[in-house]
Amino acid sequence: MFMPFSPEPYVDFNQPSPRDHMLTALKQVGQQLGKTYPLWVNGEAITSGDTFDSTSPADPSRVVGTMIKANADIADQAVRGAAESFQDWSRWDPDARARILIKAAAIMRRRVYEFSAWMCYEESKSWIEAYADTCEAIDFLDFYGREMMRLKGAQPVTPFPGEENEVRYIPLGVGVVIPPWNFPLAICCGMASVGLVTGNTICLKPASTSPVVAAKFVECMHEAGLPKHVLNFLPGPGGNVGDAMVCHPLTRFISFTGSREVGTGIFEKAAKVQSGQKWLKRTVLEMGGKDCIVVDETADIDAAAEGVVAAAFGFQGQKCSACSRLIAHEAIYDKLLEQVVARTK
Protein backbone atom coordinates (compact mmCIF):
# COMPACT_ATOMS: atom_id res chain seq x y z
CA MET A 1 0.00 0.00 0.00
CA PHE A 2 1.32 3.43 -0.93
CA MET A 3 1.51 6.27 1.54
CA PRO A 4 -1.09 9.00 0.96
CA PHE A 5 -0.07 11.65 -1.55
CA SER A 6 1.87 14.63 -0.24
CA PRO A 7 3.45 17.42 -2.31
CA GLU A 8 7.17 17.30 -3.00
CA PRO A 9 8.90 19.77 -0.64
CA TYR A 10 11.08 22.62 -1.86
CA VAL A 11 14.63 23.31 -0.72
CA ASP A 12 16.20 26.52 0.55
CA PHE A 13 19.01 27.60 -1.75
CA ASN A 14 20.35 29.85 0.98
CA GLN A 15 21.58 26.66 2.63
CA PRO A 16 24.95 25.17 1.61
CA SER A 17 23.82 21.65 0.72
CA PRO A 18 21.11 22.56 -1.83
CA ARG A 19 23.42 25.18 -3.37
CA ASP A 20 26.23 22.64 -3.75
CA HIS A 21 23.87 20.08 -5.30
CA MET A 22 22.60 22.63 -7.79
CA LEU A 23 26.07 23.84 -8.75
CA THR A 24 27.14 20.23 -9.34
CA ALA A 25 24.06 19.55 -11.46
CA LEU A 26 24.61 22.70 -13.54
CA LYS A 27 28.18 21.61 -14.21
CA GLN A 28 27.14 18.08 -15.18
CA VAL A 29 24.31 19.23 -17.44
CA GLY A 30 26.56 21.90 -18.96
CA GLN A 31 28.80 19.10 -20.22
CA GLN A 32 25.82 17.53 -22.05
CA LEU A 33 24.68 20.60 -23.99
CA GLY A 34 24.45 20.41 -27.77
CA LYS A 35 23.40 16.78 -28.13
CA THR A 36 20.90 15.71 -30.81
CA TYR A 37 17.58 14.21 -29.70
CA PRO A 38 15.45 11.85 -31.83
CA LEU A 39 11.78 11.78 -32.59
CA TRP A 40 9.89 8.81 -31.13
CA VAL A 41 7.23 7.44 -33.48
CA ASN A 42 5.48 4.11 -32.91
CA GLY A 43 8.25 2.96 -30.60
CA GLU A 44 11.08 3.75 -33.02
CA ALA A 45 13.66 6.51 -32.70
CA ILE A 46 13.99 8.69 -35.80
CA THR A 47 17.52 10.07 -35.80
CA SER A 48 17.78 11.70 -39.23
CA GLY A 49 16.00 14.48 -41.07
CA ASP A 50 15.64 18.23 -40.79
CA THR A 51 16.75 19.70 -37.47
CA PHE A 52 16.38 22.80 -35.34
CA ASP A 53 18.29 24.09 -32.33
CA SER A 54 17.01 24.93 -28.87
CA THR A 55 19.07 27.79 -27.46
CA SER A 56 19.37 29.43 -24.07
CA PRO A 57 17.45 32.72 -23.64
CA ALA A 58 20.29 33.99 -21.43
CA ASP A 59 22.85 33.28 -24.16
CA PRO A 60 21.32 32.67 -27.61
CA SER A 61 24.68 31.50 -28.92
CA ARG A 62 24.54 28.52 -26.54
CA VAL A 63 22.82 25.50 -28.11
CA VAL A 64 21.10 23.45 -25.40
CA GLY A 65 20.17 20.69 -27.82
CA THR A 66 19.44 19.89 -31.45
CA MET A 67 16.11 18.32 -32.31
CA ILE A 68 15.04 16.21 -35.26
CA LYS A 69 12.09 18.12 -36.68
CA ALA A 70 8.77 16.35 -37.20
CA ASN A 71 6.44 17.20 -40.10
CA ALA A 72 2.84 16.56 -41.09
CA ASP A 73 3.61 13.16 -42.65
CA ILE A 74 5.40 11.97 -39.52
CA ALA A 75 2.52 13.31 -37.42
CA ASP A 76 0.08 11.23 -39.47
CA GLN A 77 2.22 8.11 -38.91
CA ALA A 78 2.33 8.82 -35.19
CA VAL A 79 -1.42 9.24 -34.77
CA ARG A 80 -2.19 6.12 -36.81
CA GLY A 81 0.36 4.10 -34.86
CA ALA A 82 -0.97 5.44 -31.58
CA ALA A 83 -4.49 4.34 -32.57
CA GLU A 84 -3.19 0.81 -33.11
CA SER A 85 -1.19 0.80 -29.86
CA PHE A 86 -4.29 1.94 -27.98
CA GLN A 87 -5.93 -1.44 -28.55
CA ASP A 88 -3.37 -3.10 -26.27
CA TRP A 89 -2.42 -0.28 -23.88
CA SER A 90 -6.05 0.48 -22.98
CA ARG A 91 -6.42 -3.11 -21.75
CA TRP A 92 -3.42 -3.06 -19.41
CA ASP A 93 -4.12 -3.53 -15.73
CA PRO A 94 -4.65 0.00 -14.36
CA ASP A 95 -2.36 -0.79 -11.42
CA ALA A 96 0.45 -1.66 -13.85
CA ARG A 97 0.02 1.64 -15.68
CA ALA A 98 -0.09 3.48 -12.35
CA ARG A 99 3.11 1.89 -11.10
CA ILE A 100 4.98 3.18 -14.15
CA LEU A 101 4.09 6.71 -13.06
CA ILE A 102 5.06 6.01 -9.45
CA LYS A 103 8.43 4.69 -10.63
CA ALA A 104 8.91 7.70 -12.92
CA ALA A 105 8.27 9.97 -9.94
CA ALA A 106 10.96 8.14 -7.97
CA ILE A 107 13.44 8.52 -10.86
CA MET A 108 12.66 12.22 -11.18
CA ARG A 109 12.98 12.69 -7.41
CA ARG A 110 16.47 11.19 -7.48
CA ARG A 111 17.38 13.46 -10.41
CA VAL A 112 15.57 16.58 -9.21
CA TYR A 113 18.62 18.84 -9.43
CA GLU A 114 19.51 17.55 -12.89
CA PHE A 115 16.02 18.21 -14.31
CA SER A 116 16.05 21.63 -12.67
CA ALA A 117 19.44 22.43 -14.18
CA TRP A 118 18.15 21.64 -17.67
CA MET A 119 15.45 24.27 -17.18
CA CYS A 120 18.01 26.80 -15.96
CA TYR A 121 19.80 26.39 -19.28
CA GLU A 122 16.86 26.04 -21.67
CA GLU A 123 14.38 28.49 -20.07
CA SER A 124 16.73 30.65 -17.99
CA LYS A 125 14.66 29.86 -14.92
CA SER A 126 15.99 30.85 -11.54
CA TRP A 127 17.05 27.93 -9.36
CA ILE A 128 13.96 27.91 -7.16
CA GLU A 129 11.57 28.34 -10.10
CA ALA A 130 13.22 25.42 -11.90
CA TYR A 131 13.22 23.29 -8.75
CA ALA A 132 9.54 24.05 -8.13
CA ASP A 133 8.76 23.08 -11.74
CA THR A 134 10.41 19.68 -11.21
CA CYS A 135 8.60 19.20 -7.89
CA GLU A 136 5.27 19.85 -9.59
CA ALA A 137 6.07 17.25 -12.24
CA ILE A 138 6.85 14.72 -9.49
CA ASP A 139 3.55 15.62 -7.83
CA PHE A 140 1.62 14.97 -11.04
CA LEU A 141 3.20 11.53 -11.45
CA ASP A 142 2.62 10.53 -7.84
CA PHE A 143 -0.92 11.90 -7.63
CA TYR A 144 -2.18 10.58 -10.97
CA GLY A 145 -0.73 7.14 -10.26
CA ARG A 146 -2.61 6.95 -6.97
CA GLU A 147 -5.79 8.31 -8.55
CA MET A 148 -5.71 5.62 -11.24
CA MET A 149 -5.58 2.97 -8.53
CA ARG A 150 -8.57 4.62 -6.84
CA LEU A 151 -10.65 5.02 -9.99
CA LYS A 152 -10.08 1.59 -11.54
CA GLY A 153 -12.97 -0.85 -11.71
CA ALA A 154 -16.61 -0.22 -10.88
CA GLN A 155 -17.45 3.05 -9.15
CA PRO A 156 -20.26 3.70 -6.62
CA VAL A 157 -23.68 4.56 -8.03
CA THR A 158 -27.04 5.39 -6.48
CA PRO A 159 -28.90 2.06 -6.03
CA PHE A 160 -32.31 1.58 -7.64
CA PRO A 161 -34.68 -1.30 -6.76
CA GLY A 162 -34.80 -4.04 -9.36
CA GLU A 163 -31.71 -2.84 -11.26
CA GLU A 164 -28.02 -3.67 -11.23
CA ASN A 165 -26.03 -0.62 -12.30
CA GLU A 166 -22.36 0.26 -12.38
CA VAL A 167 -20.09 3.05 -13.60
CA ARG A 168 -16.69 2.38 -15.11
CA TYR A 169 -14.23 4.88 -16.50
CA ILE A 170 -12.78 3.93 -19.89
CA PRO A 171 -9.96 5.45 -21.95
CA LEU A 172 -10.80 7.40 -25.11
CA GLY A 173 -8.02 6.74 -27.62
CA VAL A 174 -5.31 8.94 -29.09
CA GLY A 175 -4.59 12.16 -27.22
CA VAL A 176 -2.57 15.11 -28.56
CA VAL A 177 -0.63 16.98 -25.85
CA ILE A 178 0.71 20.48 -26.57
CA PRO A 179 2.41 22.02 -23.51
CA PRO A 180 3.84 25.56 -23.15
CA TRP A 181 7.44 26.73 -22.87
CA ASN A 182 7.17 28.36 -19.43
CA PHE A 183 6.52 25.13 -17.47
CA PRO A 184 8.31 22.77 -19.83
CA LEU A 185 8.46 19.84 -17.41
CA ALA A 186 5.50 20.20 -15.03
CA ILE A 187 2.74 20.87 -17.55
CA CYS A 188 4.25 18.61 -20.20
CA CYS A 189 4.53 15.80 -17.65
CA GLY A 190 1.11 16.46 -16.13
CA MET A 191 -0.88 16.49 -19.36
CA ALA A 192 0.96 13.53 -20.89
CA SER A 193 1.06 11.31 -17.80
CA VAL A 194 -2.62 11.66 -16.93
CA GLY A 195 -3.53 10.64 -20.47
CA LEU A 196 -1.17 7.67 -20.37
CA VAL A 197 -2.13 6.31 -16.96
CA THR A 198 -5.82 6.31 -17.89
CA GLY A 199 -5.07 4.06 -20.84
CA ASN A 200 -4.79 6.51 -23.73
CA THR A 201 -1.89 6.73 -26.16
CA ILE A 202 -0.25 10.14 -26.51
CA CYS A 203 1.32 12.23 -29.25
CA LEU A 204 3.42 14.91 -27.51
CA LYS A 205 4.39 18.09 -29.36
CA PRO A 206 6.48 20.23 -27.00
CA ALA A 207 6.91 23.97 -27.35
CA SER A 208 9.62 24.69 -29.92
CA THR A 209 11.57 26.77 -27.37
CA SER A 210 11.68 24.03 -24.72
CA PRO A 211 11.94 20.63 -26.45
CA VAL A 212 15.05 19.34 -24.66
CA VAL A 213 13.35 19.27 -21.25
CA ALA A 214 10.45 17.40 -22.86
CA ALA A 215 12.92 14.92 -24.37
CA LYS A 216 14.33 14.34 -20.89
CA PHE A 217 10.80 13.62 -19.63
CA VAL A 218 10.34 11.03 -22.40
CA GLU A 219 13.65 9.41 -21.44
CA CYS A 220 12.48 9.25 -17.82
CA MET A 221 9.23 7.53 -18.82
CA HIS A 222 11.15 5.00 -20.90
CA GLU A 223 13.43 4.28 -17.94
CA ALA A 224 10.35 3.76 -15.76
CA GLY A 225 9.11 1.02 -18.08
CA LEU A 226 6.59 2.82 -20.26
CA PRO A 227 6.22 0.97 -23.59
CA LYS A 228 7.85 3.23 -26.14
CA HIS A 229 5.04 2.89 -28.68
CA VAL A 230 2.41 4.51 -26.45
CA LEU A 231 4.16 7.90 -26.16
CA ASN A 232 5.12 9.58 -29.44
CA PHE A 233 7.50 12.56 -29.26
CA LEU A 234 7.13 15.06 -32.10
CA PRO A 235 8.92 18.42 -31.73
CA GLY A 236 8.28 20.73 -34.63
CA PRO A 237 6.30 23.76 -35.81
CA GLY A 238 2.80 24.07 -34.42
CA GLY A 239 1.32 25.23 -37.70
CA ASN A 240 2.50 22.02 -39.36
CA VAL A 241 2.85 19.22 -36.82
CA GLY A 242 0.35 20.48 -34.27
CA ASP A 243 -2.38 21.25 -36.79
CA ALA A 244 -1.92 17.88 -38.49
CA MET A 245 -2.54 16.05 -35.22
CA VAL A 246 -5.37 18.32 -34.07
CA CYS A 247 -7.21 17.81 -37.36
CA HIS A 248 -6.50 14.08 -37.67
CA PRO A 249 -9.66 11.95 -37.81
CA LEU A 250 -8.19 9.41 -35.35
CA THR A 251 -7.41 12.01 -32.66
CA ARG A 252 -9.87 11.72 -29.75
CA PHE A 253 -8.79 14.60 -27.51
CA ILE A 254 -6.39 17.54 -27.35
CA SER A 255 -4.79 18.91 -24.17
CA PHE A 256 -3.26 22.35 -24.67
CA THR A 257 -1.74 25.05 -22.49
CA GLY A 258 -0.61 28.28 -24.14
CA SER A 259 -1.83 31.46 -25.74
CA ARG A 260 -5.43 32.47 -26.31
CA GLU A 261 -4.79 32.85 -30.04
CA VAL A 262 -3.47 29.31 -30.49
CA GLY A 263 -5.99 27.81 -28.07
CA THR A 264 -9.01 29.27 -29.81
CA GLY A 265 -7.56 28.11 -33.13
CA ILE A 266 -7.29 24.57 -31.79
CA PHE A 267 -10.86 24.77 -30.51
CA GLU A 268 -12.08 25.79 -33.96
CA LYS A 269 -10.11 23.09 -35.78
CA ALA A 270 -11.08 20.34 -33.33
CA ALA A 271 -14.77 21.19 -33.70
CA LYS A 272 -14.79 20.34 -37.40
CA VAL A 273 -15.65 16.70 -38.08
CA GLN A 274 -13.10 15.24 -40.50
CA SER A 275 -13.72 12.58 -43.10
CA GLY A 276 -13.53 9.20 -41.36
CA GLN A 277 -13.91 10.67 -37.87
CA LYS A 278 -16.25 8.63 -35.64
CA TRP A 279 -16.51 10.82 -32.55
CA LEU A 280 -16.52 14.47 -31.58
CA LYS A 281 -13.11 15.47 -30.26
CA ARG A 282 -12.69 16.69 -26.70
CA THR A 283 -10.49 19.63 -25.84
CA VAL A 284 -8.85 20.81 -22.63
CA LEU A 285 -7.59 24.32 -23.35
CA GLU A 286 -5.81 26.33 -20.66
CA MET A 287 -5.10 29.84 -21.91
CA GLY A 288 -4.12 31.81 -18.83
CA GLY A 289 -6.24 33.84 -16.45
CA LYS A 290 -6.63 37.00 -14.43
CA ASP A 291 -5.50 35.77 -11.02
CA CYS A 292 -6.17 37.92 -7.99
CA ILE A 293 -5.02 38.14 -4.37
CA VAL A 294 -7.55 39.42 -1.83
CA VAL A 295 -6.16 41.16 1.29
CA ASP A 296 -8.50 42.09 4.13
CA GLU A 297 -8.03 44.56 6.98
CA THR A 298 -6.79 41.88 9.41
CA ALA A 299 -3.85 40.77 7.26
CA ASP A 300 -0.16 41.03 8.04
CA ILE A 301 0.68 43.84 5.61
CA ASP A 302 4.38 42.97 5.32
CA ALA A 303 3.64 39.33 4.56
CA ALA A 304 0.90 40.28 2.11
CA ALA A 305 3.20 42.67 0.24
CA GLU A 306 5.93 40.02 0.01
CA GLY A 307 3.45 37.45 -1.25
CA VAL A 308 1.92 39.76 -3.84
CA VAL A 309 5.26 40.78 -5.34
CA ALA A 310 6.50 37.18 -5.41
CA ALA A 311 3.28 36.01 -7.04
CA ALA A 312 3.27 38.81 -9.61
CA PHE A 313 6.93 38.86 -10.61
CA GLY A 314 8.33 35.40 -9.87
CA PHE A 315 9.81 34.10 -13.14
CA GLN A 316 9.29 37.64 -14.44
CA GLY A 317 5.53 37.10 -14.25
CA GLN A 318 5.73 34.59 -17.10
CA LYS A 319 3.10 32.25 -15.61
CA CYS A 320 -0.61 31.80 -16.12
CA SER A 321 -0.78 31.65 -12.31
CA ALA A 322 0.93 35.03 -11.82
CA CYS A 323 -0.98 37.55 -9.72
CA SER A 324 -2.34 40.21 -12.07
CA ARG A 325 -4.93 41.85 -9.77
CA LEU A 326 -4.70 42.96 -6.15
CA ILE A 327 -7.96 43.46 -4.28
CA ALA A 328 -7.42 45.19 -0.92
CA HIS A 329 -9.72 46.41 1.84
CA GLU A 330 -9.96 50.22 1.96
CA ALA A 331 -8.64 50.33 5.54
CA ILE A 332 -5.22 48.94 4.49
CA TYR A 333 -5.22 49.85 0.79
CA ASP A 334 -2.83 52.81 0.88
CA LYS A 335 -0.31 51.17 3.19
CA LEU A 336 -0.30 47.91 1.22
CA LEU A 337 0.00 49.71 -2.11
CA GLU A 338 2.96 51.69 -0.83
CA GLN A 339 4.78 48.53 0.27
CA VAL A 340 4.00 46.63 -2.94
CA VAL A 341 5.31 49.51 -5.06
CA ALA A 342 8.47 49.81 -2.94
CA ARG A 343 9.21 46.06 -3.22
CA THR A 344 8.48 46.08 -6.93
CA LYS A 345 10.96 48.90 -7.48
For residue 116, how many other CB atoms are within 10 A of its CB? 27
pLDDT digit string, tens, across residues 62-115: 999 999 999 999 999 999 999 999 999 999 999 999 999 999 999 999 999 999
pLDDT of residue 288: 80
Measured in residues, the chain has a length of 345
pLDDT of residue 290: 82
Low-confidence stretches of the chain (pLDDT beneath 70) = none
Q: pTM for the full model?
A: 0.94
- Check residue 105 and give its pLDDT: 98
Catalytic residue among 220, 320, 330, 338: 320
- Is 320 a catalytic site residue? yes
Report pLDDT for 320: 85
Q: Which domains does the chain have, with CATH numbers?
A: 36-58+65-157+169-286 (3.40.605.10), 291-344 (no CATH)
Active-site residue, from 166, 286, 292, 338: 286
Question: What does the pLDDT look like over 234-243, one tens digit per residue?
Answer: 999 989 999 9
Residue of 238, 236, 243 lying closest to 46 (CA atoms): 236
Q: Are 250 and 80 in contact (CB under 8 A)?
A: yes
Q: Is the dihedral of CA 15, 16, 19, 21 positive or negative?
A: negative
